[in-house]
Amino acid sequence: MTGTSYEGRLFIDGEFREAKSGKRYDVINPADESIVGSAADAGPEDVYDAVTAARRVADETSWGTDHKFRRHCLEQFQAALRSDVDGFRKLVTAEAGLGTALIGSHVDAMIDGMDFWNDLTTSFPWEEDLGSFEFLGMPSDRRVCYEPHGVVGAITPWNAPFMTAIWKVTHAMATGNTVVLKSAPDTPLTAAKMAQVMAEATDTPAGVFNAISSEDKAIAGDAMTGDPRVDLFHFTGSPGVGQRIQERAALGIRKVVLELGGKSGNILLPDADLDMACGLSVTMCMANSGQGCALPTRMIVHADIYDEVLQRLEATIGVLPFGDPTEPTTVVGPIIRAEQLERIEGLVNRARDAGARVVCGGKRADFGGKGFWYEPTLLADVDENAEIAQNEVFGPVLIVIRYDGNDDEAVRIANNTRYGLSAYVQSRDEERAWRVAHRLRAGTVNINNSFYLSPDAPFSGWGISGVGSEHGVAGFREYLRIKTIASPTK
Protein backbone atom coordinates (compact mmCIF):
# COMPACT_ATOMS: atom_id res chain seq x y z
CA MET A 1 0.00 0.00 0.00
CA THR A 2 1.40 3.39 -0.96
CA GLY A 3 0.02 6.87 -0.62
CA THR A 4 -3.74 6.78 -0.33
CA SER A 5 -4.16 3.51 -2.23
CA TYR A 6 -5.74 1.10 0.24
CA GLU A 7 -5.86 -2.67 0.15
CA GLY A 8 -9.45 -3.73 -0.44
CA ARG A 9 -9.29 -7.36 -1.43
CA LEU A 10 -10.61 -10.28 0.57
CA PHE A 11 -8.13 -12.04 2.84
CA ILE A 12 -8.74 -15.78 2.79
CA ASP A 13 -6.42 -18.57 3.88
CA GLY A 14 -3.43 -16.26 4.12
CA GLU A 15 -3.84 -14.69 0.68
CA PHE A 16 -5.42 -11.54 -0.70
CA ARG A 17 -7.79 -12.16 -3.58
CA GLU A 18 -10.69 -10.63 -5.42
CA ALA A 19 -14.25 -11.86 -4.95
CA LYS A 20 -15.01 -14.80 -7.22
CA SER A 21 -17.63 -12.67 -8.93
CA GLY A 22 -14.98 -10.05 -9.71
CA LYS A 23 -17.25 -7.36 -8.26
CA ARG A 24 -16.00 -4.35 -6.30
CA TYR A 25 -17.69 -1.35 -4.75
CA ASP A 26 -16.59 2.14 -3.77
CA VAL A 27 -16.01 3.20 -0.16
CA ILE A 28 -17.27 6.75 0.36
CA ASN A 29 -15.87 9.40 2.70
CA PRO A 30 -18.95 10.71 4.58
CA ALA A 31 -17.45 14.18 4.98
CA ASP A 32 -17.11 15.04 1.28
CA GLU A 33 -18.41 11.99 -0.63
CA SER A 34 -15.00 11.40 -2.20
CA ILE A 35 -13.94 7.83 -2.91
CA VAL A 36 -11.58 6.55 -0.22
CA GLY A 37 -10.94 3.30 -2.07
CA SER A 38 -12.75 0.23 -3.30
CA ALA A 39 -13.41 -3.14 -1.74
CA ALA A 40 -14.07 -6.62 -3.02
CA ASP A 41 -17.76 -7.52 -2.96
CA ALA A 42 -17.86 -11.01 -1.46
CA GLY A 43 -20.60 -13.47 -2.27
CA PRO A 44 -21.65 -16.70 -0.53
CA GLU A 45 -18.94 -18.64 -2.35
CA ASP A 46 -16.23 -16.40 -0.88
CA VAL A 47 -17.66 -16.73 2.61
CA TYR A 48 -17.66 -20.50 2.15
CA ASP A 49 -13.96 -20.45 1.27
CA ALA A 50 -13.12 -18.30 4.30
CA VAL A 51 -14.98 -20.61 6.67
CA THR A 52 -13.31 -23.62 5.05
CA ALA A 53 -9.89 -22.15 5.75
CA ALA A 54 -10.76 -21.27 9.34
CA ARG A 55 -12.31 -24.70 9.91
CA ARG A 56 -9.22 -26.51 8.62
CA VAL A 57 -6.88 -24.68 11.02
CA ALA A 58 -9.26 -25.17 13.95
CA ASP A 59 -9.59 -28.91 13.32
CA GLU A 60 -6.19 -29.95 11.99
CA THR A 61 -3.53 -27.84 13.72
CA SER A 62 -2.21 -27.12 17.21
CA TRP A 63 -3.32 -23.46 17.05
CA GLY A 64 -5.96 -24.00 19.76
CA THR A 65 -3.55 -25.60 22.23
CA ASP A 66 -0.26 -23.78 21.61
CA HIS A 67 -0.79 -20.83 23.94
CA LYS A 68 2.78 -19.55 23.79
CA PHE A 69 2.78 -19.44 20.00
CA ARG A 70 -0.54 -17.60 19.94
CA ARG A 71 0.84 -15.00 22.32
CA HIS A 72 3.90 -14.63 20.11
CA CYS A 73 1.70 -13.95 17.07
CA LEU A 74 -0.48 -11.48 18.95
CA GLU A 75 2.51 -9.56 20.27
CA GLN A 76 3.88 -9.35 16.73
CA PHE A 77 0.49 -8.05 15.59
CA GLN A 78 0.37 -5.45 18.36
CA ALA A 79 3.88 -4.19 17.58
CA ALA A 80 3.08 -3.90 13.87
CA LEU A 81 -0.17 -2.06 14.54
CA ARG A 82 1.72 0.41 16.73
CA SER A 83 4.24 1.05 13.98
CA ASP A 84 1.44 1.95 11.55
CA VAL A 85 -0.88 3.68 14.01
CA ASP A 86 -0.96 6.92 12.03
CA GLY A 87 -2.07 5.06 8.91
CA PHE A 88 -4.95 3.45 10.80
CA ARG A 89 -5.97 6.78 12.31
CA LYS A 90 -6.19 8.44 8.90
CA LEU A 91 -8.06 5.53 7.36
CA VAL A 92 -10.70 5.34 10.09
CA THR A 93 -11.28 9.09 9.80
CA ALA A 94 -11.59 8.80 6.02
CA GLU A 95 -14.02 5.91 5.81
CA ALA A 96 -15.98 6.34 9.07
CA GLY A 97 -15.81 10.13 9.51
CA LEU A 98 -14.43 9.71 13.03
CA GLY A 99 -12.86 12.99 14.19
CA THR A 100 -9.16 13.20 14.91
CA ALA A 101 -10.00 14.61 18.35
CA LEU A 102 -11.44 11.20 19.26
CA ILE A 103 -9.33 8.92 17.10
CA GLY A 104 -6.82 8.07 19.83
CA SER A 105 -9.52 6.42 21.94
CA HIS A 106 -10.57 4.29 18.97
CA VAL A 107 -7.11 3.27 17.73
CA ASP A 108 -4.16 3.98 20.06
CA ALA A 109 -5.94 2.96 23.25
CA MET A 110 -7.22 -0.23 21.64
CA ILE A 111 -3.73 -1.26 20.57
CA ASP A 112 -2.45 -0.61 24.09
CA GLY A 113 -5.36 -2.64 25.48
CA MET A 114 -4.08 -5.73 23.71
CA ASP A 115 -1.62 -6.16 26.58
CA PHE A 116 -4.40 -7.60 28.74
CA TRP A 117 -5.40 -10.19 26.14
CA ASN A 118 -1.84 -11.08 25.21
CA ASP A 119 -1.11 -11.82 28.86
CA LEU A 120 -4.28 -13.88 29.33
CA THR A 121 -3.23 -16.10 26.42
CA THR A 122 -0.63 -17.71 28.67
CA SER A 123 -1.71 -16.73 32.20
CA PHE A 124 -5.32 -17.94 32.00
CA PRO A 125 -5.90 -21.18 33.99
CA TRP A 126 -6.63 -23.40 31.00
CA GLU A 127 -7.01 -26.41 33.32
CA GLU A 128 -8.17 -26.41 36.94
CA ASP A 129 -8.13 -29.41 39.30
CA LEU A 130 -11.13 -29.70 41.64
CA GLY A 131 -9.81 -32.52 43.76
CA SER A 132 -11.57 -35.75 44.66
CA PHE A 133 -15.31 -36.37 45.04
CA GLU A 134 -17.11 -39.67 45.56
CA PHE A 135 -20.40 -40.42 43.81
CA LEU A 136 -22.04 -43.82 43.20
CA GLY A 137 -19.18 -45.38 45.11
CA MET A 138 -16.58 -44.04 42.69
CA PRO A 139 -14.02 -41.58 44.09
CA SER A 140 -12.99 -39.39 41.18
CA ASP A 141 -10.53 -36.60 40.54
CA ARG A 142 -12.06 -33.85 38.38
CA ARG A 143 -10.34 -31.46 36.05
CA VAL A 144 -12.04 -28.51 34.34
CA CYS A 145 -10.60 -27.70 30.91
CA TYR A 146 -11.26 -24.60 28.81
CA GLU A 147 -11.09 -25.11 25.06
CA PRO A 148 -11.84 -22.90 22.04
CA HIS A 149 -15.15 -23.21 20.23
CA GLY A 150 -13.41 -23.52 16.89
CA VAL A 151 -14.48 -21.01 14.23
CA VAL A 152 -15.70 -17.54 15.23
CA GLY A 153 -17.83 -15.50 12.86
CA ALA A 154 -17.11 -11.89 13.84
CA ILE A 155 -19.36 -9.14 12.48
CA THR A 156 -18.48 -5.50 13.14
CA PRO A 157 -20.29 -2.15 12.79
CA TRP A 158 -19.28 0.95 10.84
CA ASN A 159 -19.15 3.44 13.72
CA ALA A 160 -16.03 1.93 15.35
CA PRO A 161 -14.38 -0.19 12.65
CA PHE A 162 -10.96 -0.49 14.26
CA MET A 163 -12.10 -0.76 17.86
CA THR A 164 -14.65 -3.52 17.40
CA ALA A 165 -12.55 -5.46 14.89
CA ILE A 166 -9.45 -5.48 17.09
CA TRP A 167 -11.53 -6.69 20.03
CA LYS A 168 -13.08 -9.59 18.17
CA VAL A 169 -10.04 -10.67 16.20
CA THR A 170 -7.58 -10.59 19.10
CA HIS A 171 -10.01 -12.12 21.59
CA ALA A 172 -10.78 -14.96 19.20
CA MET A 173 -7.10 -15.58 18.51
CA ALA A 174 -6.05 -15.32 22.17
CA THR A 175 -8.54 -18.02 23.10
CA GLY A 176 -7.35 -20.36 20.35
CA ASN A 177 -10.19 -19.88 17.90
CA THR A 178 -9.88 -19.07 14.23
CA VAL A 179 -11.90 -16.16 12.89
CA VAL A 180 -13.77 -14.92 9.84
CA LEU A 181 -14.23 -11.17 10.16
CA LYS A 182 -17.07 -9.61 8.17
CA SER A 183 -16.71 -5.84 8.23
CA ALA A 184 -19.55 -3.37 7.77
CA PRO A 185 -20.17 -2.40 4.12
CA ASP A 186 -19.30 1.25 4.81
CA THR A 187 -15.94 0.56 6.48
CA PRO A 188 -14.22 -2.48 4.94
CA LEU A 189 -10.79 -0.95 4.39
CA THR A 190 -9.79 -0.92 8.05
CA ALA A 191 -10.27 -4.70 8.25
CA ALA A 192 -8.33 -5.20 5.02
CA LYS A 193 -5.47 -3.10 6.40
CA MET A 194 -5.49 -5.22 9.57
CA ALA A 195 -5.22 -8.31 7.41
CA GLN A 196 -2.30 -6.76 5.57
CA VAL A 197 -0.48 -6.14 8.85
CA MET A 198 -1.25 -9.67 10.01
CA ALA A 199 0.07 -11.17 6.77
CA GLU A 200 3.22 -9.07 6.50
CA ALA A 201 4.36 -8.78 10.10
CA THR A 202 3.31 -11.90 12.00
CA ASP A 203 3.83 -15.65 11.98
CA THR A 204 0.09 -16.27 12.22
CA PRO A 205 -0.71 -19.40 10.19
CA ALA A 206 -2.80 -19.04 7.05
CA GLY A 207 -6.47 -19.52 7.80
CA VAL A 208 -6.41 -18.31 11.40
CA PHE A 209 -7.64 -14.86 10.39
CA ASN A 210 -9.82 -14.22 7.35
CA ALA A 211 -11.44 -10.91 6.34
CA ILE A 212 -14.54 -10.51 4.19
CA SER A 213 -16.14 -7.37 2.79
CA SER A 214 -19.49 -7.10 1.03
CA GLU A 215 -21.58 -4.20 -0.24
CA ASP A 216 -24.80 -5.93 0.86
CA LYS A 217 -24.48 -6.87 4.53
CA ALA A 218 -27.30 -9.42 4.28
CA ILE A 219 -25.76 -11.52 1.51
CA ALA A 220 -22.44 -12.20 3.21
CA GLY A 221 -23.98 -12.14 6.68
CA ASP A 222 -26.61 -14.74 5.82
CA ALA A 223 -23.98 -16.91 4.15
CA MET A 224 -21.89 -16.84 7.33
CA THR A 225 -24.72 -17.37 9.80
CA GLY A 226 -26.14 -20.13 7.62
CA ASP A 227 -22.88 -22.08 7.58
CA PRO A 228 -23.05 -24.84 10.22
CA ARG A 229 -19.25 -24.95 10.41
CA VAL A 230 -19.17 -21.64 12.31
CA ASP A 231 -19.34 -22.37 16.04
CA LEU A 232 -19.71 -18.89 17.58
CA PHE A 233 -21.05 -15.60 16.28
CA HIS A 234 -19.76 -12.41 17.89
CA PHE A 235 -21.71 -9.39 16.65
CA THR A 236 -21.83 -5.68 17.40
CA GLY A 237 -24.65 -3.73 15.80
CA SER A 238 -28.38 -3.15 15.85
CA PRO A 239 -30.91 -5.20 17.84
CA GLY A 240 -32.78 -6.12 14.66
CA VAL A 241 -29.75 -7.68 13.01
CA GLY A 242 -28.70 -9.24 16.30
CA GLN A 243 -32.04 -10.96 16.60
CA ARG A 244 -31.73 -12.33 13.07
CA ILE A 245 -28.25 -13.68 13.84
CA GLN A 246 -29.53 -15.35 17.01
CA GLU A 247 -32.43 -16.91 15.10
CA ARG A 248 -30.13 -18.30 12.43
CA ALA A 249 -27.60 -19.50 15.00
CA ALA A 250 -30.37 -21.52 16.65
CA LEU A 251 -30.04 -23.93 13.72
CA GLY A 252 -27.33 -26.20 15.05
CA ILE A 253 -27.50 -24.61 18.54
CA ARG A 254 -24.54 -22.32 17.90
CA LYS A 255 -23.46 -19.77 20.47
CA VAL A 256 -23.93 -16.02 20.03
CA VAL A 257 -22.50 -13.00 21.81
CA LEU A 258 -24.32 -9.81 20.91
CA GLU A 259 -23.45 -6.21 21.79
CA LEU A 260 -26.40 -4.25 20.45
CA GLY A 261 -27.87 -0.77 20.64
CA GLY A 262 -28.58 1.50 23.57
CA LYS A 263 -30.72 4.39 24.74
CA SER A 264 -28.68 5.22 27.77
CA GLY A 265 -30.37 7.20 30.50
CA ASN A 266 -28.33 9.96 32.12
CA ILE A 267 -29.86 10.95 35.46
CA LEU A 268 -29.08 14.43 36.81
CA LEU A 269 -30.14 14.36 40.44
CA PRO A 270 -30.95 17.77 41.96
CA ASP A 271 -27.57 17.92 43.74
CA ALA A 272 -25.54 17.27 40.57
CA ASP A 273 -22.44 19.34 39.86
CA LEU A 274 -23.82 21.12 36.81
CA ASP A 275 -20.51 22.48 35.60
CA MET A 276 -19.16 18.97 35.32
CA ALA A 277 -22.38 17.13 34.46
CA CYS A 278 -23.51 19.35 31.59
CA GLY A 279 -20.11 19.68 29.96
CA LEU A 280 -19.32 15.98 30.23
CA SER A 281 -22.77 14.90 29.09
CA VAL A 282 -22.64 17.00 25.94
CA THR A 283 -19.14 15.82 25.06
CA MET A 284 -20.06 12.17 25.58
CA CYS A 285 -23.38 12.38 23.76
CA MET A 286 -21.98 14.18 20.73
CA ALA A 287 -18.80 12.10 20.43
CA ASN A 288 -18.44 10.50 16.99
CA SER A 289 -21.45 12.59 15.89
CA GLY A 290 -23.62 10.68 18.36
CA GLN A 291 -22.94 7.47 16.47
CA GLY A 292 -22.24 5.29 19.47
CA CYS A 293 -24.28 2.69 21.30
CA ALA A 294 -23.33 3.50 24.92
CA LEU A 295 -23.57 7.30 24.71
CA PRO A 296 -25.74 9.26 27.20
CA THR A 297 -28.39 10.37 24.72
CA ARG A 298 -31.40 10.44 27.09
CA MET A 299 -30.97 12.99 29.89
CA ILE A 300 -33.35 12.76 32.83
CA VAL A 301 -33.31 16.02 34.82
CA HIS A 302 -34.99 16.97 38.08
CA ALA A 303 -37.42 19.91 37.91
CA ASP A 304 -35.40 21.96 40.42
CA ILE A 305 -32.47 22.23 38.01
CA TYR A 306 -34.26 21.69 34.68
CA ASP A 307 -34.22 25.27 33.37
CA GLU A 308 -30.63 25.88 34.38
CA VAL A 309 -29.53 22.62 32.78
CA LEU A 310 -31.24 23.54 29.51
CA GLN A 311 -29.53 26.92 29.49
CA ARG A 312 -26.15 25.32 30.03
CA LEU A 313 -26.77 22.64 27.39
CA GLU A 314 -27.90 25.19 24.81
CA ALA A 315 -24.86 27.35 25.43
CA THR A 316 -22.54 24.35 25.05
CA ILE A 317 -24.16 22.57 22.13
CA GLY A 318 -24.64 25.81 20.22
CA VAL A 319 -20.89 26.39 20.02
CA LEU A 320 -19.61 22.83 19.56
CA PRO A 321 -16.87 22.65 16.91
CA PHE A 322 -18.70 21.07 13.99
CA GLY A 323 -17.41 20.10 10.57
CA ASP A 324 -14.24 18.68 9.03
CA PRO A 325 -13.28 15.53 11.02
CA THR A 326 -9.62 15.99 10.14
CA GLU A 327 -9.47 19.23 12.13
CA PRO A 328 -8.10 18.45 15.60
CA THR A 329 -10.67 20.63 17.38
CA THR A 330 -13.76 19.16 15.70
CA VAL A 331 -16.18 17.43 18.06
CA VAL A 332 -19.09 16.67 15.72
CA GLY A 333 -18.38 15.41 12.23
CA PRO A 334 -20.44 13.83 9.46
CA ILE A 335 -23.12 11.16 9.48
CA ILE A 336 -22.03 7.91 7.86
CA ARG A 337 -24.40 7.90 4.88
CA ALA A 338 -27.46 9.56 3.35
CA GLU A 339 -29.90 6.90 4.58
CA GLN A 340 -28.82 7.40 8.17
CA LEU A 341 -29.08 11.16 7.79
CA GLU A 342 -32.65 10.77 6.56
CA ARG A 343 -33.46 8.52 9.52
CA ILE A 344 -32.16 11.09 12.03
CA GLU A 345 -34.07 13.86 10.29
CA GLY A 346 -37.29 11.85 10.42
CA LEU A 347 -36.96 11.06 14.11
CA VAL A 348 -36.35 14.70 15.06
CA ASN A 349 -39.14 16.03 12.83
CA ARG A 350 -41.65 13.59 14.30
CA ALA A 351 -40.49 14.46 17.83
CA ARG A 352 -41.09 18.15 17.08
CA ASP A 353 -44.54 17.34 15.74
CA ALA A 354 -45.27 15.33 18.90
CA GLY A 355 -44.51 18.30 21.16
CA ALA A 356 -40.79 18.22 21.82
CA ARG A 357 -39.10 21.63 21.78
CA VAL A 358 -36.08 22.09 19.53
CA VAL A 359 -33.74 24.26 21.59
CA CYS A 360 -30.93 24.22 19.05
CA GLY A 361 -30.07 22.40 15.85
CA GLY A 362 -32.84 20.20 14.50
CA LYS A 363 -31.92 20.29 10.83
CA ARG A 364 -29.36 19.29 8.23
CA ALA A 365 -26.22 21.31 7.72
CA ASP A 366 -24.49 22.17 4.46
CA PHE A 367 -20.73 22.14 3.94
CA GLY A 368 -20.29 22.99 0.29
CA GLY A 369 -23.04 20.66 -0.86
CA LYS A 370 -20.98 17.57 -0.05
CA GLY A 371 -21.13 15.00 2.71
CA PHE A 372 -23.83 14.02 5.19
CA TRP A 373 -24.33 16.50 8.01
CA TYR A 374 -26.80 17.04 10.83
CA GLU A 375 -26.51 19.91 13.29
CA PRO A 376 -25.82 19.13 16.96
CA THR A 377 -29.35 19.10 18.34
CA LEU A 378 -30.98 19.59 21.73
CA LEU A 379 -34.61 18.53 22.27
CA ALA A 380 -36.36 19.57 25.49
CA ASP A 381 -39.71 18.65 27.04
CA VAL A 382 -39.59 15.16 25.58
CA ASP A 383 -42.17 12.69 26.84
CA GLU A 384 -40.53 9.60 28.31
CA ASN A 385 -42.66 7.35 26.07
CA ALA A 386 -42.13 9.32 22.86
CA GLU A 387 -40.64 7.56 19.84
CA ILE A 388 -37.39 9.49 20.13
CA ALA A 389 -37.11 8.61 23.84
CA GLN A 390 -37.59 4.92 23.14
CA ASN A 391 -35.52 4.44 19.98
CA GLU A 392 -31.83 4.83 19.31
CA VAL A 393 -31.15 7.84 17.06
CA PHE A 394 -27.45 7.25 16.34
CA GLY A 395 -26.85 10.89 15.58
CA PRO A 396 -25.88 14.15 17.36
CA VAL A 397 -29.19 14.47 19.20
CA LEU A 398 -29.57 14.92 22.97
CA ILE A 399 -33.08 14.64 24.41
CA VAL A 400 -34.05 15.95 27.85
CA ILE A 401 -36.85 14.52 30.00
CA ARG A 402 -38.06 16.38 33.10
CA TYR A 403 -39.07 14.62 36.31
CA ASP A 404 -40.58 16.11 39.49
CA GLY A 405 -40.39 13.29 42.00
CA ASN A 406 -37.71 11.64 44.11
CA ASP A 407 -34.92 9.28 43.11
CA ASP A 408 -37.45 6.47 42.65
CA GLU A 409 -39.05 8.45 39.85
CA ALA A 410 -35.71 9.07 38.17
CA VAL A 411 -34.87 5.38 38.31
CA ARG A 412 -38.29 4.43 36.93
CA ILE A 413 -37.87 6.72 33.92
CA ALA A 414 -34.32 5.56 33.28
CA ASN A 415 -35.50 1.95 33.30
CA ASN A 416 -38.46 2.74 31.03
CA THR A 417 -36.74 1.36 27.94
CA ARG A 418 -36.24 -1.93 26.13
CA TYR A 419 -32.51 -1.20 26.05
CA GLY A 420 -29.99 -1.76 28.83
CA LEU A 421 -26.50 -1.18 27.53
CA SER A 422 -25.27 1.67 29.71
CA ALA A 423 -26.49 4.33 32.14
CA TYR A 424 -25.19 7.44 33.88
CA VAL A 425 -25.79 9.08 37.27
CA GLN A 426 -24.78 12.61 38.27
CA SER A 427 -24.77 13.58 41.97
CA ARG A 428 -22.45 15.28 44.46
CA ASP A 429 -23.44 12.58 46.98
CA GLU A 430 -21.50 9.50 45.91
CA GLU A 431 -23.39 7.13 48.22
CA ARG A 432 -26.66 8.37 46.77
CA ALA A 433 -25.32 7.87 43.25
CA TRP A 434 -24.27 4.32 44.10
CA ARG A 435 -27.73 3.54 45.46
CA VAL A 436 -29.26 4.72 42.20
CA ALA A 437 -26.64 2.89 40.12
CA HIS A 438 -27.47 -0.44 41.75
CA ARG A 439 -31.11 -0.04 40.71
CA LEU A 440 -30.52 0.76 37.04
CA ARG A 441 -31.16 -2.05 34.57
CA ALA A 442 -28.06 -1.70 32.44
CA GLY A 443 -24.88 -3.65 31.82
CA THR A 444 -22.69 -0.70 32.80
CA VAL A 445 -23.29 2.40 34.92
CA ASN A 446 -21.06 5.49 35.04
CA ILE A 447 -21.11 7.79 38.08
CA ASN A 448 -20.16 11.42 37.51
CA ASN A 449 -16.96 11.83 35.48
CA SER A 450 -16.18 8.14 35.03
CA PHE A 451 -16.47 5.65 32.17
CA TYR A 452 -16.47 1.88 32.31
CA LEU A 453 -14.50 0.99 29.16
CA SER A 454 -11.24 -0.86 29.87
CA PRO A 455 -9.76 -4.20 28.78
CA ASP A 456 -10.25 -5.88 32.16
CA ALA A 457 -13.81 -4.71 32.90
CA PRO A 458 -16.54 -6.88 31.40
CA PHE A 459 -19.59 -5.22 29.88
CA SER A 460 -22.83 -6.67 28.65
CA GLY A 461 -26.18 -5.58 27.34
CA TRP A 462 -29.42 -6.08 29.21
CA GLY A 463 -32.81 -6.22 27.52
CA ILE A 464 -32.52 -5.86 23.74
CA SER A 465 -29.00 -4.49 24.15
CA GLY A 466 -27.36 -7.85 23.97
CA VAL A 467 -26.42 -11.34 25.11
CA GLY A 468 -23.17 -12.35 26.76
CA SER A 469 -20.19 -10.29 27.92
CA GLU A 470 -17.28 -8.58 26.26
CA HIS A 471 -13.89 -7.73 27.80
CA GLY A 472 -12.43 -8.93 31.07
CA VAL A 473 -12.00 -12.56 32.03
CA ALA A 474 -15.77 -12.98 31.60
CA GLY A 475 -15.49 -11.83 27.98
CA PHE A 476 -12.48 -14.12 27.45
CA ARG A 477 -14.49 -17.10 28.62
CA GLU A 478 -17.28 -16.35 26.15
CA TYR A 479 -14.93 -17.65 23.45
CA LEU A 480 -14.29 -20.91 25.33
CA ARG A 481 -16.12 -24.17 25.91
CA ILE A 482 -15.93 -25.91 29.26
CA LYS A 483 -15.04 -29.58 29.51
CA THR A 484 -14.83 -31.55 32.78
CA ILE A 485 -12.76 -34.73 32.79
CA ALA A 486 -13.00 -37.28 35.62
CA SER A 487 -10.45 -39.97 36.41
CA PRO A 488 -10.14 -42.45 39.30
CA THR A 489 -8.77 -40.84 42.42
CA LYS A 490 -5.13 -41.76 42.93
pLDDT tens-digit map of 82-128: 999 999 999 999 999 999 999 999 999 999 999 999 999 999 999 99
CA 373, CA 323: separation in Å to the nearest integer?
8
Neighbouring CB atoms inside 10 A of 401's CB total 26
- Average pLDDT of the chain, as a whole number: 97
User: pLDDT exceeding 90 applies to what percent of the chain?
Assistant: 99
pLDDT in tens, 229-262: 999 999 999 999 999 999 999 999 999 999 999 9
CA 348 to chain centre: 25
Mean pLDDT of 469-490: 97
Check if 293 is active-site: yes
Average pLDDT over residues 176-204: 98
Domains of the chain (ranges; CATH) run: 8-259+464-486 (3.40.605.10), 263-454 (3.40.309.10)
pLDDT in tens, 411-447: 999 999 999 999 999 999 999 999 999 999 999 999 9
Please identify which of the residues 73, 278, 285, 293 carries the catalytic annotation. Answer: 293
Asked if the model's pLDDT at residue 215 lies above 50, the reply is yes
pLDDT at 354: 96
- pLDDT beyond 60 at 401: yes
pLDDT above 70 for 2: no
| pLDDT score at 377 | 98
Q: Is 332 helix (H, G, I), strand (E, B) or coil?
A: strand
Residue 215 designated active-site: no
What DSSP designation does 62 have? S
pLDDT of residue 186: 97
- Give the pLDDT score at 4: 64
Helix (H, G, I), strand (E, B), or coil: what is residue 20?
A: coil
Catalytic choice (7, 215, 259, 392) = 259
pLDDT in tens, 25-81: 999 999 999 999 999 999 999 999 999 999 999 999 999 999 999 999 999 999 999
pLDDT of residue 217: 86
State residue 428's pLDDT score: 98
Q: Give the pLDDT mean for 283-305.
A: 96
Distances in Å between the Cα of 60 and the Cα atoms of 6, 49, 56, 70, 257 are: 33, 16, 6, 16, 25
pLDDT tens per residue across span 159-169 = 999 999 999 99
- Angle in degrees, CA 475, 477, 479, rounded to 5: 90
Give kind and range of the element (H or E) at residue 131.
strand 127-135
How far apart CA 140 and CA 154 sit, in angstroms, is 39
Those residues whose C-beta lies under 8 Å from the C-beta of residue 159, and which sit 6 or more positions away, are 96, 288, 291, 292, 293, 336, 394
Average confidence (pLDDT) over 316-330:
94
List of residues 6+ apart from 225 with CB closer than 8 A: 153, 233, 244, 245, 248, 249
> What would the mean pLDDT of 171-185 be, rounded to a whole number?
98
- pLDDT, one tens digit per residue, over 6-32 is 999 999 999 999 999 999 999 999 999
